[in-house]
Amino acid sequence: MNSSFENESIRSEENAQKVVSDLFAIHRNAVNRFVLSIYPNITDSEEIVQETFITALKKASQFEEGTNFLNWVFTIAKFKVLGLHRSNRREQLLMSELTMDVLITHYSEIETSDSSWNETLKKNALQFCRSQLTQRNQQMLKYRYDDGWKPGKIAEFLGQKSESVYTALSKIRSFLRKCMDIRMKESINEI
């Protein structure tokens, strides 16, 4: 018979694994780039990334949300590379463990700043694209997303049919997606 403490512990572990799994999915390409930078063997690198993921899931309860996930997962990857190297010694390591530690810090900072830079680009693009909407469409967007109104309430407030509000919101979202894609590409090309 499971006690409530055991059930709570199991749920806590499952939640930790979900957090780590979600973060790994977001940062998988960064993990892959890091592994290739310290062990540039394409065949083994995918295996190392997979083993890193499995180990990260097993150690999920050790990861503290709000801390630097990339630093944590890169450290796991480093130990996977060192373990693979020790087990088969077929290739010489390109760098010392100390150099790998420096790269962990450097890569996690770069990846984190790239992520926040990308979020800033998205916010700026959205702000610009919202300003390109007509006053009426801006108002409808405000009611729906800023104020949380349902389309039926917006329709009632504006004296329109619900279907026309749904259609208008769909067209607004489509415009914003296209506008943001163009704006972000322009911003990246300006750099």
- Tell me: the pLDDT tens digits for 4-57? 445 555 557 788 888 888 888 888 888 888 888 888 777 788 899 999 999 999
- Tell me: the pLDDT tens digits for 100-127? 778 777 777 766 655 555 667 777 888 8
Is residue 86 very low, low, confident or very high in pLDDT (cuts 50, 70, 90)?
confident
- What does the pLDDT read at residue 5? 45
Q: Residue ranges of the domains in the chain? A: 1-115, 132-191
Burial bucket for residue 27 (CB in 10 Å: 0-12, 13-18, 19+)? buried
Q: How far apart are CA 64 and CA 186, in angstroms?
A: 37
Over the Cα atoms of the chain, what is R_g? Answer: 24
List of residues 6+ apart from 86 with CB closer than 8 A: none
Q: How far apart are CA 9 and CA 21, in angstroms?
A: 18
- What does the pLDDT read at residue 171? 94
Which run of H or of E encompasses 170? helix 162-190
Q: How far apart are CA 35 and CA 53, in angstroms?
A: 12
The single residue listed with the structure tokens 């065949």 is 43
Give, as one character, the DSSP assignment of residue 63. P
pTM for this model (two decimals): 0.52
The single residue listed with the structure tokens 């208008």 is 168
Q: Which fold has domain 1-115?
A: Rna Polymerase Sigma Factor; Chain: A (1.10.1740)
Burial bucket for residue 26 (CB in 10 Å: 0-12, 13-18, 19+)? exposed
The CATH class that applies to domain 132-191 reads mainly alpha
The single residue listed with the structure tokens 């911003």 is 187
